[in-house]
Amino acid sequence: MSTTATGTKWWSGGRSPFNVEYGKLMMWYFLMSDAFTFGAFLISYGTIRFSANSWPDPNVVFQSFPFLGSGLPLLFVSLMTFILIISSVTMVMAVHAGHRGDKKAVVWNLVWTILGGLAFLGCQAWEWTHLYHEGAWWGSNPFANADGSTGHQDFTNFFFTITGFHGFHVFSGVVINVIMLIMTLNNVFEKKGHYLMIEKAGLYWHFVDLVWVFVFTMFYLV
């Protein structure tokens, strides 16, 4: 059936008005829902921070790099961000390879994406451990405010809750990508004749990366 002919009545029933399968539609709506979850977190963070007299300076808190010591503000988180964005690029390449039906390229790009995700999670684990050894955790903030006063309790509370929630999303994204990889290797998509499931996994992965841009901005830059 030709679907691109002019005058196609997209909304008159018997077809998807957006020309997508139901799963992708559900993914888009799920991502909207998830965006509201993160939005609520970040707005909560914003209101508490706005009502505080002062707040710790991220350039002082986040200034360590493994093996290089301290005095390198935001260098490590820049690396983390870079890794995550690159993993989005490899995800795009996996989706494109799927469009071509190029199984080998799908596999390799998925592997790189999974490695990128794991590297990001590893970096986060290092950062959390480092902060923990400096005395930071839920309910304890060793970092003084920028104006020298005792640090606001909710600085670490929000940091660990929101980056943790994001990390949980990255972790589930990695799990999804591993499942996609196994399914690809077992020729599930070859038999189906399309790699649309990888597109949906890709949507999720890009969303998680996009959220990180906001989390990164709100916690490290502002």
Where along the sequence are the contacts to other proteins (CB under 8 A)? Answer: 1, 3-4, 9, 11-23, 25-26, 29-30, 32-34, 36-41, 44, 47-48, 51-52, 138-140, 152-154, 157-158, 161, 165, 193-194, 196
- Minimum CB–partner distance for residue 13 and other proteins (Å): 4
Between 22 and 67, name the residue whose CB sits nearer to other proteins. Answer: 22
Q: How far is the CB of 44 from other proteins (least distance, A)?
A: 6
- The gap from C-alpha 197 to its chain's centroid, in whole angstroms, comes to 19
Q: How far is the CB of 48 from other proteins (least distance, A)?
A: 6
Q: How far is the CB of 181 from other proteins (least distance, A)?
A: 21
**Closest Cα partner for 205 from 41, 95, 51?**
95
C-beta closer to other proteins: residue 30 or 108: 30
Whether 156 and 140 have beta carbons less than 8 Å apart is answered as yes
Q: How far is CA 33 from CA 27, 29, 164, 165, in A?
A: 10, 6, 18, 15
Closer residue to other proteins, CB minimum distance, 62 or 189: 189
Q: Report the distance separating Cα 168 and Cα 145, nearest Å.
A: 28
Instruction: Identify which of residues 12 and 67 has a Cβ nearer to other proteins in the complex.
Output: 12
Q: How far is the CB of 155 from other proteins (least distance, A)?
A: 9
Between 82 and 168, name the residue whose CB sits nearer to other proteins.
168
